[in-house]
Structure 1
Amino acid sequence: MRADRADRADDVLALARLATKRGAVRAMLGWLARRTGGPAMLVGDTGRVLAGPGGEHDPAVARVAADAAAEAAVELHRRGAASAVLGGGEGPPVHLIALDTGPRTYLAVVGPDDPHCGTLLADAARTLALCWRLEQSERARRRIESAEEYSREAVLHLLMVGSVPAAQRIAGALRPALPAMVQMYVIECPHARRREIARRIDREAGGGAWIVPCPVRPNHVLALVPPEPGPGAAAVSGGPAPLDLLIVRLVPECRVGVSAAVALRDTPTAYEQAIHALAVARNAPGRRAGFGGDVDVTVLAGPEGYVWASELLAPCLRYAPARRADPGPQELLGTLGSWLSFGGAASRHLKIHRNTLAARMRHLDELLGVEVSRSLAAQSAAWLALRLHTAPQAAAARAQAPPGHTATLDAVLGTPAAGAWARAQLRPLEQAGPTAGLETLRTWLRADARLPAAATALGISLPGARKRLTRAEDALGRSLLTAPSAKYELWLAMRALGSL
């Protein structure tokens, strides 16, 4: 009797130790299988096997045992009993005991060597029930987190495509509500730490930040936050440090790019600004940078510019898909905008297969009559046309144009306003001197922004060309080598000045 009590105590202690490990349920089922000499598993009241032991098993034996356990669990549930030994005769006996869980779950051991293992199963059932409820809660938590993550990603996607009212409705249900004015933070960090960093940012922002793991870049976290006071406000008032400074202090591996304050409808512009700032932050001593340039190209277009944009995009706008499942005009324009921003990574942004993306780009090439997928000149024209077409003042500007009026890209870029804009884009490179790489940039743009071809044309190595363009990024305060890139604006600027 004393030996039996000692054995039982050892068994309970062994189960308690297993309960502290990762994958405790599978570990305990494996231990029970070895201890009793029969396969052990958890079975639902409908006969579905919910969990089995870890390790390798003969598939045929496991299948027979699972079928026997499933049949016995359904029968026990029908009877309404808490435990029983069922089967026997032609098949193996199945020892079952109900766990204290909902919905009803049974611990089943099929054909154990010891026919008197009821006490062991009763002791195991208590610990297993706790571990099973814990694992189920963890799965539910992960599902909720995943659902919220996808919902937040959907809100960001709606903002990026201009559907602000829909984004506000969803955000209002999820909380926090989206502010009328925002700043975009793009935080570059180790992929494995994205969720941890997102939680820290949320805590430091006082719950007011709208945080989304970037759907395109696996090492980026995006945060929309209400604009902060001016740079000196915190120092004067003794208030909290700027959020980007707090982030780099908390997580030294991070690099942070911050946009200017923009209206919520201009979230795509804020994202581009933050990406450009991030390019500077990668080489900045403080590992953070704010955007100090200007990406508003609508200043260089009068009424004829909006007419030109409509004419360029007209084949796409008038397109009627042959099949209901084919993308329509707005979806094609969305694909074009995403591809111009992210290149091949647009498939992750749009949640489509890369072959589908390639097929849509070929279709756009045919519709627009230019090789958007290959030519930087065509890409830059399409990029400008999309910006002008979606500008808030586009419809009113087109209405002011004389009937039957047509325009060309050179005419759009030939205005005094366009010349002033172009000189402002290139002035930082000219002021930085020859080491900033103005000629390298021109050669790179002539090579359709392909680095190997640019390196060959310059007669230097590929790393050398990359280093020169990195210096140009620092001088411009803009991203060149990482999408979204400023290559379209710079191509247009050089075209406007006759440098290409």
Structure 2
Amino acid sequence: MLSTQGFAGRIDELLPLLGRAARRPGAAGELEGVADWLARELGLECALLGPAGAVMVATPGFPPEVLTLARPVLTRLAAQGTASAATRIGEYHVLLEALGTSPPRPVLVLAGTLPPDRRAVAVASHAGSLLAALARAREAEEVLAAYQRKAHRVRLAVTMVLMTGDVSLALRMSAGAVPPLLRAERVRVCVLRCAPDDRELIAQAHQDAAGFHAGGLLVSCPVWDEHLIGLVAEEENEPPGAVDRGIPALLSDLVAANPRYALGLSRPHPLPQTARAYEQARHALAAARTSAGRRAVFQGTASLEEFLPHEPARRWARRLLAPLDGAPRLTVDVLRLALQFPRTGVAVLLGVHRNTVAAHLRNAQRALGLELEDAASRALLALALRLAEPAAEGPAAEAARAAGAAGHRRAPWAPYAEAGEAGEAARAWAAAFLGPVERHPRGGELLEVATAWVRANGDAQRAARRLGIGRATVRTRLQTAERLLDRDLLSDGPGVQDLTLALLLTGRIPHPPPLS
């Protein structure tokens, strides 16, 4: 049995163990190391039970039957004022000591074939108190980790709802802890490209007690592993320097300090148009990747739907989408997201299996009579979905389907095919959109590569073969076009769709076959 003098001589072994366990309360093995030291020095087996009676840590040789047979005593010690108890269970002498003052309390259990002397009991009591403190630190860290996970889920849910334009639902989801963002008139979206493991560290380091960030939101993108999304409130009369304060300034400082980071920022948008602001931030990030400071604010031309007269464009979109009238809501949601993200990302966003995503896309493709892998079809369909919604199931949907079936064959592919104001607006948009590339000294070859890229449905190898150049050259020229157009062209999504619409309008690529 260890004497007090022996214990004092070996205390230098215990202190480093306690220090490591205190610094890393959640690390596997640190708490166990302290328990093993205590058992080794006292010649006793050791177990620490949490307030609920679960074993928090135990030495490998601790006899489990002791805990079973001592359960009544353990319950009494955890719940009542009794400080300690000693008993005999089979061949073991058992010492039980409650730790702390507020029930339910942790209980330290020591078991050995010889009874412990008073000095060993005193040492065990002090060391047990330290074990209990470290165990509480571990529990606190686990509670904090659970809170961080839940805070992230709430932030992500609020962000995804804002992407749908439903500000009222986002307010209800915030459950009283409403960030100023949800009361703001406008929102600016930032997208930081960084290491995947850095995203939550950044979000956690700067969140407030409610789990938000300086009145806005920072949330790890569920689709792109290297993207951290920031949503920032901006008022109508915000001064020009708004991007140099708050979350934008924080993310800009991180970019300046880390050469692997890049940042894209949108223009301010009305809060219900958060999705449009997010698209702009993604486009700006593509430009930032090749800019000197790796930071860019979206400066490109807005998307086509913002230039079209509302009613003619909406009528065209309704005719195009008529075959989806009455389709399950999930089919429409899958289709909309699949025009922006990879199918695996769609599955993550909707919480469904990839096979479910594929099945809904097949159903939509059959109903619409188009090939969803075709870039032109995807661009026109995405435009239609931004302009209108398929009718929900019911009498209105039946009537819309009947009208659509009668007029769908002659429905033009695009609203700019209609005479008058819509066509003029669309052509003016295309000229403004492609202008930065056309004015570039090498604009001809850049447009040639962009056109081949779209014709190849985003396949760089096919585009390279068509042009007789290398695949790397295709990507390099597309990156130059990205910077000039302020569009993300290398990931299939809104940027490629805007480019495709501009190429359709200028006659550089043909329209897809009419629906039958």
Q: Which amino acid aligns with 1:25?
A: L
Name the residue aligned to 2:122.
Answer: 119
Name the residue aligned to 2:413.
Answer: 410
Name the residue aligned to 1:367.
Answer: 367
Name the residue aligned to 1:426.
Answer: 434
Structure 1 residues 154 and 10, CA gap change in structure 2 (3 angstroms):
farther
Contact 1:12 1:123 in 2 (8 A): no
Counterparts of 1:345-364 in structure 2, within 5 Å, are 345-364=345-364
- Matches of 2:6 and 2:137, distance apart in 1: 27
- Matches of 1:92 and 1:359, distance apart in 2: 64
- Matches of 1:37 and 1:358, distance apart in 2: 63
Contact 2:186 2:235 in 1 (8 A): no
Q: 1:133 aligned to 121, 133, 136, which one?
A: 136
Normalised TM-score (structure 2):
0.80
How many Å apart are 1:46 and its aligned residue?
A: 5.2
Q: Which amino acid aligns with 1:486?
A: G
- Matches of 2:194 and 2:254, distance apart in 1: 12
How many Å apart are 1:108 and its aligned residue?
A: 2.5
- Matches of 2:354 and 2:92, distance apart in 1: 52
Counterparts of 1:270-419 in structure 2, within 5 Å, are 270-298=277-305, 299-300=307-308, 303-319=311-327, 328-329=328-329, 331-344=330-343, 345-372=345-372, 374-389=373-388, 408-414=411-417, 415-419=423-427
The alignment status of 1:440 with 2:449, answered yes or no, reads yes
Contact 2:320 2:411 in 1 (8 A): no
How many Å apart are 1:362 and its aligned residue?
A: 2.6
The alignment status of 1:49 with 2:55, answered yes or no, reads yes
Q: Percent identity?
A: 32
Counterparts of 1:22-421 in structure 2, within 5 Å, are 22=24, 23=27, 24-37=30-43, 39-44=45-50, 47-52=53-58, 65-78=63-76, 80=80, 81-89=82-90, 92-100=92-100, 102-111=103-112, 115-116=116-117, 117-171=120-174, 173-177=176-180, 178=182, 179-198=184-203, 207-227=214-234, 233-234=240-241, 244=248, 247-251=251-255, 252-253=257-258, 254-298=261-305, 299-300=307-308, 303-319=311-327, 328-329=328-329, 331-344=330-343, 345-372=345-372, 374-389=373-388, 408-414=411-417, 415-421=423-429
Contact 1:69 1:110 in 2 (8 A): no
Name the residue aligned to 1:325.
Answer: none
Q: Which amino acid aligns with 2:501?
A: L
How many Å apart are 1:45 and its aligned residue?
A: 5.5
Q: Structure 2: give runs of 5+ residues left out of the alignment.
A: 391-395, 418-422, 510-516
Structure 1 residues 384 and 411, CA gap change in structure 2 (3 angstroms):
closer
Structure 1 residues 112 and 121, CA gap change in structure 2 (3 angstroms):
farther
SS, match of residue 370 in structure 1? coil
Contact 2:51 2:103 in 1 (8 A): no
How many Å apart are 1:262 and its aligned residue?
A: 0.5
- Matches of 1:335 and 1:346, distance apart in 2: 7
Q: Structure 1: give runs of 5+ residues left out of the alignment.
A: 320-327
Structure 1 residues 335 and 111, CA gap change in structure 2 (3 angstroms):
farther
Worse-matched range after superposition: 119-128 or 5-14: 5-14
Structure 1 residues 28 and 222, CA gap change in structure 2 (3 angstroms):
same
Structure 1 residues 268 and 102, CA gap change in structure 2 (3 angstroms):
farther
Q: Count how many residue pairs are aligned between Structure 1 and Structure 2.
A: 469
Contact 1:332 1:364 in 2 (8 A): yes
- Matches of 2:469 and 2:71, distance apart in 1: 73
Can you list the C-alpha shifts for 1:36-58, whole angstroms capped at 9, x where unaligned? 455533224654223345xxx6x
SS, match of residue 226 in structure 1? strand
Q: Which amino acid aligns with 1:449?
A: G
How many Å apart are 1:127 and its aligned residue?
A: 0.6
Q: Which amino acid aligns with 2:121?
A: G
Worse-matched range after superposition: 272-281 or 80-89: 80-89
